[in-house]
Amino acid sequence: MDKYVILGLLGVILIGISIHLCYCSRPAEKKLSEVHSAYDVVSLFAQTPDTIKKRVALSLEKAQKELDILISIPDAQRTFANTAQALDRVDSLSDAAILMPLLSALELVSPDAAIRDAAHEGSLKVREFFIDQIGNNEQLYRAFKAYAKPAIANAKDLTPAQRYFLTETLADFERNGLALPADQLAHVRVLNKELTALSLDFEKNIAQDNKTITVSREELAGLDDDFIDSLKKTADAKTGATVYELVVNGPTYMLVMQHGADATTRKKMFLAWQNRAYPANEVILKQVITKRDELAKLLGFESFAAYTESNLMAKNPARVKAFLQDLIAKSSPKEVQEFAQLFTDLPASVQKTAQGKLWGWDVRYAQTQYKEKHFDLDDRLVAEYFPTEQTIEKLLGIYQNFLSLEFKQESVPGLWHNEVKLVSVYSHAAEKDQLLGYLLLDLYPRPNKYTHAAYETLVPATFDAQGVPTPWVALVMANFPKSTPKKPALLLHSEVETFFHEFGHAMHGLLGRTALASQSGTSVKHDFVEVPSQMFEEWLWDADILKALSGHYKTGAPLSEELIAKIISLKKFDSGFFIQRQAQLSLLDFAMYQAGAEKEPYQILSEQSRARTHVAFDPEEHMYASFGHLMSYGAKYYSYMWSKVFSLDLFATVKKEGLQSPAVGQRLTSTVLSKGGSQDPEELLRDFLGREPNMQAFLDNLGL
């Protein structure tokens, strides 16, 4: 072989090795929070189980040293910088703090079982460290209290955000039981560790439930040929006949529920979806209920619901219950009207029960068929105007203009899957060339991946010692339909709305840049965290935005004015049912965590479901086994509807001033988004609205 060819090949190999090292390694002295390029983003994600183990061990060792230094400072020498800011740094910017969401993300998205398992174990160790060494550390509490108590009392040298941090952090320490006797505090620590492990197992079981159902060609009636052609075909073990395999994931479930004309197929898919992670997660849920009840009582609260809501906007369970009952009362007449409409013209494959109700697998199909027949609107035809790649690009354009940002898609190898995209974000306002951060997009389903849509901050948006913005890193996960041989990936209007929602979280995370990292972005009161994201969803119900965002995958033509009018008119079509369902899910979550250590989840679900006015309960349903919010939210699911009230109040004000107005975007950013969790959310709402928030926009928007 020619020596120059050999040298050339060697050069290519060496370049490849060097690129691999750039992507897969990270200098030991460089902190995980130091991200300055796309290569740094890739290197955040460990490539091997061994790397994960080493990172966990090293990060915990470093975090412990920082905490030891903080605790050892004499009380007389304590300052905001060496005590409060030092705690903030360990809690939110240390390698251990960054590893927590990184490992959680890897466990949810990595195709590699060994990586997922190592991430699970590593995540457990890191979370246990934070329980022991921060949340339940008596020495740390005393050190922090020694500075915080007099500092709060004499707050003239503190900014409002610093004072808020001290007050909230001190309250959190005390809510964690640091004032308890030593033996009780030790028990709190044990319970928190056990609950962390159980929650991780619950989530893992959902993510790794790879159920499928098989049906005949005839049982796929109503589903389009492109979708059917994409399905895996096998031979039935008994008859040898060809059967089609349906994966039980979000896009397939919705497609079958809305368009599957065969009631048997709908029922099989519905029950498979409702029984994901059952029975394993029922066992876990019972243990979690028992331990959370015990924890709450140790901490001086009547119930876990009372404990968890004590530091939220709602304050207490009584206020939450009153809010939900009010929602049910206000939406009930609308839901009655909606089902009366449906009952006038049910499809042939939908039959009412003896009690005059619809089965759960028939509701969406009946609604879809009614809309297609009486409103002449097929959501699959609307989806042809939202090809995924084009829609994402246009969506980025809308956000760019409104929030004065600039997005650039990066091409980088080395991430966990070749479908993952990386978007760099720049300020397009006064500091046009300022890099603000990076957003990872993992949008399509695959085996063992998280099955819903979610947002996760990986590196919070904050400032360095010189006051320069440090790059933020975040991940948006979704499970949108994939391309078929005949069509590109197309998004239903509801899926575009979902993307606007998760991207809204991302913009809150990006623009909520605060001096204290633990106040950054979405680190707000839990019943406020959905406000920005739900507000941004509403852009998808505006005629001008729909026209700008849409473009038929064949012709590029936007949605017609007639189609847009139909889409908008249908927003209120099932709003009563939607609110009733959300309120019922909230009450289910709420009931699990009322006082009482021994509860039967199935009995709670059965009793609440049988009380529904129009939807029948099938005894084979066990949806709580895959209701991940029972872990991550725990008596806080009500916050979706609570936040909806405030989000629609904000949106109504924004719309009056202009949904595509950078000036309004800047005002929204400066008064709400940029504050992150550095201020009480009720103050943020008043600052933007110029008045007390109210429910009127919510009632008007949903036709109540």
Positions marked active-site: 502
Query: Regarding beta strands 435-442 and 472-477, do their DSSP bridges make them parallel or antiparallel, or are they unpaired?
Result: parallel
Query: Regarding beta strands 435-442 and 421-427, do their DSSP bridges make them parallel or antiparallel, or are they unpaired?
Result: antiparallel
Which residue type does 643 have? S
Return the DSSP state at 64: H
Q: Are 46 and 115 spatial neighbours (Cβ–Cβ below 8 Å)?
A: yes
Report the alpha-carbon distance of residue 699 to residue 288 in Å, rounded.
36
Report the alpha-carbon distance of residue 266 to residue 245 in Å, rounded.
14
Q: How far is CA 689 from CA 381, 647, 656, 657, 692, in A?
A: 38, 11, 12, 12, 7
Give the distance from CA 114 to its chain's centroid. Answer: 25
Dihedral sign for Cα atoms in the order 112, 114, 117, 121:
negative
Angle value at C-alpha 451, between 450 and 453, nearest 5 degrees: 90
Report the alpha-carbon distance of residue 61 to residue 666 in Å, rounded.
42
Residue in this structure with the two tokens 């849409």, named with its chain if needed: 550
Q: Are 152 and 166 spatial neighbours (Cβ–Cβ below 8 Å)?
A: yes
Q: What is the number of alpha carbons within 13 Å of residue 616 lying toward its C-beta? A: 16
Where are the alpha helices (H) located in 375-463, listed in sequence order?
379-383, 388-403
Region for residue 286 given its phi and psi (left: phi exceeds 0; alpha: psi -120 to 50; beta: otherwise):
alpha
DSSP string, 202-261: HHHHHHT---EEEE-SGGGTTS-HHHHHTSEEEE-TTT--EEEEEE-SHHHHHHHHHH--
Strand, coil or helix: 473: strand
Report the alpha-carbon distance of residue 98 to residue 435 in Å, rounded.
20
Report the alpha-carbon distance of residue 458 to residue 505 in Å, rounded.
13
**Residue 279 preceded by cis peptide, ω within 30:** yes
Q: Let me know how long the chain is.
A: 704
Task: Classify residue 27 by burial, with Cβ atoms within 10 Å: 0-12, 13-18, 19+.
Answer: exposed
